[in-house]
Amino acid sequence: MHAPVGKASFEAQKLAENFNVLIELVMKMKPATAKGVYLKGITVSSTMGPGVKIDTQEITARFK
């Protein structure tokens, strides 16, 4: 899945808010029957910039 969370001109706080809302929505959409790891990888980047990997274990732990 690819989804924008903001623009490079946004403040860090606003980007973090948007990211958290997106992840919360994705986690809510997880089917009850889904087994195993639901989020396998998260990478954040600007349009042409290098990607930065996010620790999925830390993210999923927040939404359990």
Two tokens at 6? 């903001």
Does the predicted TM-score (pTM) go above 0.85? Answer: no
Q: Output the six-digit token pair for 52.
A: 């930065």
Higher pLDDT, 60 or 6: 6
Out of 38-42, 46-50, 60-64, pick the least confident: 60-64
> In the chain, which residue ranges form alpha helices assigned H by DSSP?
12-28, 56-62
Quick one: which of 52, 33, 34, 31 has its CA closest to 43? Answer: 52
pLDDT of the residue at 12: 95
Burial status of residue 43 (CB atoms within 10 A of its CB: 0-12, 13-18, 19 or more): exposed
Query: Would you say residue 63 has pLDDT above 80?
Result: no
Measure CA 20 to chain center.
7
Task: Please state the domain extents for the chain.
Answer: 12-62
